[in-house]
Structure 1
Amino acid sequence: MASEAAKETANPGSVRPGGRTARVRSAVLRAAGDALAQHGLAGLDLADVARRAEVGRTTVYRRWGNPVALVADLLVEMAEQSLPRTETGTLAGDLRANARLVRRTLADPRQGPLFKAVIAAATCDSRAAAALHRFYETRVDEWAPCARQAVERGELPPGTDAREVIRAVSAPLYYRLLTTAEPLDEAAADRAADAAVAAARAGAFVTTAE
């Protein structure tokens, strides 16, 4: 059996420890999220995170080593804890539920700045970028069955790329978050969902791959 020290030095997110190690990881990642939301990536300091989490600095430095590795592990946890998809029985209802979930996350006073910070991290570090890609792949995988079921019900044309449908829902919301100061309200979420539905029904996402 691997020693506790070996677990501590494993790559972030590669181990699913229990007991004290799990509690320490949870506290540190929560503190890291708070720090990112308040100060952004430039203000993320491992010593400050250790203080916030009330754990030893050595533990944080040994396990994560640098702020980007901490961001990467935070994304792993965020993907694991994301809410499951909603099934309403119609594509329009499902995609509106998806869009409203994304909107609530991005409009949240803590989560919105947090996502901006992790996106910034992904632009300058390959590990953070890989973690961000895994996070969104996990979310797309969770919601893609909504579009596949719509194809089976005859709501969408055969050959529709279900994953592209889901990506089309959240893309306008992220664009609005990152490029404007306009509020992310429920109306914006519904418009994004409705636009994705209209495009999908028109065959915009039909590919030869399916």
Structure 2
Amino acid sequence: MSAEDGSTTPGTVRPGGRTARTRAAVRDAVLTGLAEHGYPGLTVEYVAERSGVHKTTLYRRWGSVEGLVTDALDLAGEDAWTPPDTGSLDGDLRALAHEVTDTFGDASAAAAPIAFIAAAFQSESTAEALRGFYAERFARCETVVQRAVERGEAPPGTDAAAVVRAVSAPLFFRAVVTREPLDAPLAARTAAAVAAAVRAGGYLPATSPEPADRPGSADRD
């Protein structure tokens, strides 16, 4: 969306052609900078040198390091990634879990996403962009559960968003909070546990129990 003075709000530019190539080059420089220096060490000067885009242009279009990081997350969410389709709920959940362990279990692959997470604790706009990125990512994954319902592998009404989060959450916790190692057996166990809970109805919407009659209430009617 353009501002009244003709400038653009950081993170909202979506044109194609040369501008798209510039945006992609800036995004790549931001990712590299985050991986190498983290959010506190990332500077507009670094992005300018790495991307080949003059820093005056960066300040005009993105405003600050915060704007650069936010737009890099926005652009990352525009990719063509689709969730796995293995033909079964167990296979799809296992594949999703393996994607998490493959990314966060490799130090070089995990550097940029972990830097984004760290940046979200220091910048509210980055935190908002990160929430949006993962919300959109998880929304794409909901088709995994929808297909399972159609195949009779999951009860109708299963909360698809809760399922895909449940597969990722224990792995993210180990990768980002406790910094424990991730491996394929862990991914398989996590996926199997979630699949079993799905089949048991563990992700159906909660229902409020009927209030129990209080002792002696009938005598007072």
Instruction: Give TM-score, length-normalised by structure 1.
Output: 0.89
Read off the aligned partner of 1:193 and give its amino acid letter.
A
CA deviations on 1:161-196 (whole Å, 9 max, x unpaired) are 011000001111110111234322222222221121
CA deviations on 1:58-88 (whole Å, 9 max, x unpaired) are 1111111122221111111212225211111
Does the aligned pair in 2 maintain the 1:140–1:167 contact within 8 Å? yes
5 Å matches for 1:26-65? 26-65=24-63
Does the aligned pair in 2 maintain the 1:95–1:169 contact within 8 Å? yes
CA deviations on 1:22-45 (whole Å, 9 max, x unpaired) are 111111110110010111111111
| Deviation larger for 127-136 or 99-108 | 99-108
Does the aligned pair in 2 maintain the 1:159–1:208 contact within 8 Å? no
Residues 1:135 and 2:137 are matched in the alignment: no
Mapped to 1, the partners of 2:104 and 2:9 lie a distance apart of 28
- Paired residue secondary structure (2:107): coil
Read off the aligned partner of 2:172 and give its amino acid letter.
Y
Give the aligned partner of residue 20 of structure 1: 18
Mapped to 2, the partners of 1:153 and 1:11 lie a distance apart of 45
Mapped to 1, the partners of 2:60 and 2:193 lie a distance apart of 47
> What is the identity percentage for the equivalent residue pairs of Structure 1 and Structure 2?
47
Mapped to 1, the partners of 2:160 and 2:51 lie a distance apart of 40
Provide closer, same or farther for how the CA distance between residues 69 and 102 of structure 1 changes in structure 2, counting only shifts above 3 A: same
Residues 1:148 and 2:146 are matched in the alignment: yes
Q: Which structure shows the bigger proportion of residues in helix conformation?
A: 1
- In structure 2, the gaps of 5 or more residues are 208-221
- In structure 1, the gaps of 5 or more residues are none
Q: Report the Cα offset of residue 16 of structure 1.
A: 1.4
* 1:79 counterpart (77, 80, 86): 77
Q: How many residues are paired up? A: 204
* 1:92 counterpart (90, 93, 96): 90
- Paired residue secondary structure (1:80): coil
| Deviation larger for 182-191 or 29-38 | 182-191
Q: Report the structure number with the largest CA radius of gyration.
A: 2
Give the aligned partner of residue 197 of structure 1: 195
| Deviation larger for 100-109 or 59-68 | 100-109
* 1:125 counterpart (100, 123, 126): 123
- Paired residue secondary structure (2:78): helix
